[in-house]
A and B are shown apart, each in its own frame.
Chain A
Amino acid sequence: MGESKSGSVMVVGGGIAGIQASLDLSGLGYQVYLIEKAGSIGGVMAKLDKTFPTNDCAI
């Protein structure tokens, strides 16, 4: 095609993985489109109270 590459990335899913990927991509100089089907990002981790093994707060 010979087209130039786009400087943006689409991230599908706004859980902890999607959020982290988006943050890193933006830090690396790319425009990010974060797509999430729910009303807010956070995914399952936002539902958790604590995390193993340190029992730190998950939010």
Chain B
Amino acid sequence: MGNFAAKVRRQPRYIDLDLCTGCGICADYCPIVMGDAYRENLALTKAPHRDYVQAVPASFYIDPEKCLFHSHEMCRICVSACQARAINLYEQEEMLDLNVGAVILAPGFGRISEEVLSRYGYGRLADVVTGVEFELLTSASGPTMGNIIRPSDGEHPHGIAFLQCIGTRDVSCGNGYCSSVCCMYAIKEAIVAKEHAPDLESSIFYMDMRTQGKEFDYARQRAKEKGIRFVRSRVGGVQAKGKSLEISYVDEAGKHLKEDFDMVVLPEGLESPPAAQVLAEASGIELNHYDFCSTLPFSPLKTTRAGIFVAGAFQGPKDVPESVTDASGAAALAAEVLKEARGTEVEAKTYPAEIDIEGEPRIGVFVCSCGTNIGGVVDVQSVADYAATLDNVVYSDTNLYSCAQNTQEEITETIKENRLNRVVVAACTPRTHEPLFQETIKDAGLNRCLFEMANIRDHCSWVHAMVPEAATEKSKDLIRMAVAKARGLQPLPEQKLPVTQKALVIGGGIAGMTAALNVAGQGFECILVEESKALGGNLKRMRSTLTGDDPKQLFQDTETKIRSHPLIQVHTEASVEDVSGYVGNFITSIRTNGSSESVEHGVVVVATGGKPYEPTQYLYGKSGQVVTQGELEERLTKVEGAKGINDIVMIQCVGSRGEDLSYCSKVCCGQAVRNALKILEINPSAHITVLYRDMRTYGFMEDYYQLAREKGVMFIHFDKDDPPEVTEKEGSIQVEFLDKIMGERVVLEPDLLALSVGIVPSRSEALSKMLKTPLTSDGFFLEAHPKLRPVEFSVEGVYLCGLAHGPKPISESVAQATAAAGKACIPMAKGYVTVEPIVSFVDTATCIGCGICEALCPYSAIRMIKVGKRKKAETISASCKGCGICAAHCPSLSILMGGFTNEQILSQIKALMG
């Protein structure tokens, strides 16, 4: 551990990454047309190609299997067509030897085989498509530009059937597990399709609708309201019937039905990645029985080999937010292992001292031809000549490729020779290239804010290719405007604010404890604040898990580590009273036993947890025969606990999914299955009936659900509008419900009724206000982005994990807590936070202290301070994103936006007409 030797085989791209400008001329000239694998072969591409225009790296590469040179040693047209001379058809495969301290495996997932898909007509019937193919058909950048058509005849389909559980929850193809994502993406595709073509009718044929993720049930509800039809059924097969497709299925009542559709979509499941075996062998890790990476439930990101971690769908089928969470968590674990070596292999670049730019602006204009991308349309020489006539422009010339390494060096020299103090590059987009040119001028001793770009490629030559004269005129206008802005550019300091290398973790359950341990493991101090007397939270109440792992052991191990860690300070019976400051520099007041203590810290992890819902329905609290699953779990720790109970009924979604709580609590289906299996272990002849809405045993949990069914547990579905009725008669309870298969109401008299209650969030309004971190309508904390920033808040320096984010099982809480800790360590590891020079600056001399800016700032980046006797606004630079809402609304024009001042923008506007 800490030292791995890896051998990596690098395949040739045949096009040099650094030289290729992404112009695509090679592809224009290439005579080979081939199927575009990235677009599921629904479109065509050339042998030199890139997968999509935003691809990273942006350079093209050649498919040697199709390239004429590689197959027949001929052609080579692309080599001479490439102006950047980036193509080398003789490039060879390379072996790289890497020495690394840790490894993260994130190979993703594999696709369901065509053999399995063919059972539903795929391959045989043209209008049966996979979910990914359908996704491309709905995509504006897809092969049909978002036009949904039937592959067979190009006509618009009216009725589309989505068939769920394709190649998943299907032991016949070896994939007994649930793929956890297909329900969601089917609904998404159905909604998107409806938006494209409102007359389109989509029907989703499913067994259980597993939309257990955060806010997912709401989306399902919206889909229903939009007219998407959900059919609980089992599909038998798909047959051609004239121009349409006939689906045969069995509905809930057991009736055999047939229905015609124009198109069938198979939102197929996820399989273990094709490279799983090879990767496992090469890295010395073990796989589980489905060929996914083998992990333990309480350490979900660790493979069987120390120092090698796993992230994403290789750990088990999962959606984007969980993959992103795993990734941050795996990074955090690697960082923990390598804490002594942090920073040893990364070098900080140095720059010459900044030169003084006093006096008249001396502007240099560099006009890029970008090969023929700009030069082929715009007359770059006349544009450069025109630029030279503008006031303050002392240098103007053209470059073939401004971004090329050698041109960069030339620009640096030109700046020095001509004593330039402002630079304008007329080329492509500042969104990708501004940082590069800013580096270049920094190398010449100029502050990076003395730079401006004119986008004469993306916004001009590329989009006005048919009108070269007009494009040339427009280029002149754009350069004139850029030069006008450049005149007013001022150097702005690159602020670096120090970060207090200490974290505050709020909440001492499994999430908070896990986060604290990782933060401390990475070498940073950590304060752990817990409201109650003891650590452990909900974990302390848990007695067993589906997988047979012991939560008690987990609690004891974790608590021991926490208590003995020199970098962790635990405050129990403590609460957060007040928080002020910003990322890197928070000051928090913690109240313990009536006294307050103020602590300084750089980051905050919110792990305030949740608790079980307390039911009032189904005679809970009135009859001794009615218990919650948690209480049953406690009872089943002893063999006597199952004695005398032969008939058990369990009711799912008690309080959840539309009763008191509108969301799904994610863990209750697993709990019910676990308790059912536990009872059968003690008393194999027990009769267990589970009344459910949708069994949401996603991922590998599905195995246990199937096991429970095999062992005779009865699972009976009920509708939200027709829940079971529980009554008491002569001291014993009765449960009445509709059995749809029998078509009649059934009354059971169980010995015990177990209620699967959901999870409610802790009361968090006060904390939410203090941290300026919003809550969802359900009372959970709202993360910065549901997919891509699942453990962060839009307020910087504050992170989120565990039940405070939403209901989830232990393994997901552990992964999320590790991720939050990893994110929290980033500013601490850097030791400072950099402030982009685009932030706002308040001129206190003219500020009238009205507070409009403070109220409007979406990032809480402005605070009101006292200057003498007057109130003034002040920017918290570390939190500012440079949006400029404050500047636009300031009644006294006292707010300057770095690089986007009123004067700069107005001078750009004034230069419009030349």
Contacts and interface: CB of A to CB of B under 8 A. Distances in A.
B870 to A, nearest CB: 40
Given A7-B342, A55-B192, A12 B104 contact: yes
B2 A24 contact: no
Given A8-B101, A9-B334, A43 B328 contact: no
Contacts of B57: 40
A17 B822 contact: no
A4 to B, nearest CB: 7
B136 A47 contact: yes
Given A6-B100, A11-B106, A41-B56, A51 B787 contact: yes
B51 A5 contact: no
A49 B312 contact: no
Contact of A46 (B51, B340, B788): B51
Interface in B335-351: 335, 337-338, 340-346
Contacts of A46: 51-52, 55
A24 B312 contact: no
A47 to B, nearest CB: 6
B100 A29 contact: no
Interface in A1-31: 1, 3-13, 15-22, 24-31
A59 B54 CA distance: 9
Interface residues of A, number: 51
Contacts of A9: 100-104, 331, 334, 338
Contact of A29 (B56, B105, B191, B342): B342
B interface secondary structure, majority? mixed
Residue among A10, A28, A41, A54 with most chain B CB within 10 A: A28
Interface in B473-496: none
Residue among A7, A31, A53 with most chain B CB within 10 A: A53
A52 B104 contact: no
Contacts of A20: 311, 323-324, 327-328, 331
A51 B216 CA distance: 11
Interface string B94-108: 000011111111111
Nearest to B273: A13
B528 interface: no
Contacts of B106: 11-13, 15, 17-18, 21
A18 B312 contact: yes
Nearest to B139: A49
A17 B108 contact: yes
Nearest to A25: B331
A53 B188 CA distance: 7
Contacts of A27: 826, 829-830
A31 B135 contact: no
Contacts of B105: 12-13
Contact of B341 (A4, A38, A49): A4
A15 B108 contact: yes
Contact of B4 (A10, A15, A53): A10
Nearest to B5: A6
Nearest to B183: A52
B848 interface: no
Given A24-B822, A38-B51, A17 B324 contact: yes
Contacts of B2: 3-6
Contacts of B788: 16
B51 A40 contact: yes
Given A10-B104, A24-B327, A49 B140 contact: yes
A48 to B, nearest CB: 6
Given A16-B320, A18-B311, A28-B825, A53 B219 contact: yes
Residue among A10, A11, A42, A52 with most chain B CB within 10 A: A52
B81 to A, nearest CB: 19
Contact of A40 (B50, B102, B135, B283): B50
B334 A25 contact: yes
B796 interface: no
A22 B326 CA distance: 12
Contacts of A52: 184-185, 187-188, 216, 219, 319
B105 to A, nearest CB: 5
A6 B99 contact: yes
B327 A16 contact: yes
Contacts of A12: 103-107, 279, 283
Nearest to A3: B3
B335 A25 contact: yes
B268 to A, nearest CB: 12
Contacts of B314: 13
A28 B345 CA distance: 12
B332 interface: yes
Given A21-B327, A29-B343, A6 B108 contact: no
Contact of A17 (B215, B275, B326, B337): B326
Contact of B188 (A13, A17, A30, A50): A50
Given A6-B341, A39-B13, A49 B323 contact: no
A49 B327 CA distance: 22
Nearest to A19: B327
Contacts of A37: 11, 275
A16 B345 contact: no
A40 B215 CA distance: 32
B335 A28 contact: yes
A55 B100 CA distance: 39
A22 B344 CA distance: 17
A27 B187 CA distance: 36
Contact of A24 (B132, B140, B328): B328
Contact of B100 (A8, A28, A53): A8
Contact of A16 (B8, B192, B324, B829): B324
Contacts of B345: 6-8, 30-31
Contacts of A59: 52, 54
A22 B330 CA distance: 10
Interface in B73-108: 98-108
A51 B324 CA distance: 14
Interface string B798-840: 0000000000000000000000001101100110000000000
A52 B320 CA distance: 10
A8 B338 CA distance: 9
11 contacts: A6-B99, A10-B100, A13-B105, A26-B346, A27-B830, A29-B343, A39-B50, A40-B55, A49-B192, A53-B184, A59-B52
Given A11-B106, A12-B283, A44-B108, 10 more contacts: A4-B340, A4-B341, A6-B101, A7-B341, A7-B345, A20-B328, A21-B311, A27-B830, A50-B188, A53-B215
The 10 closest A-B pairs by CB, nearest first: A17-B312, A53-B219, A5-B2, A49-B139, A20-B327, A7-B344, A7-B341, A24-B331, A40-B55, A13-B106
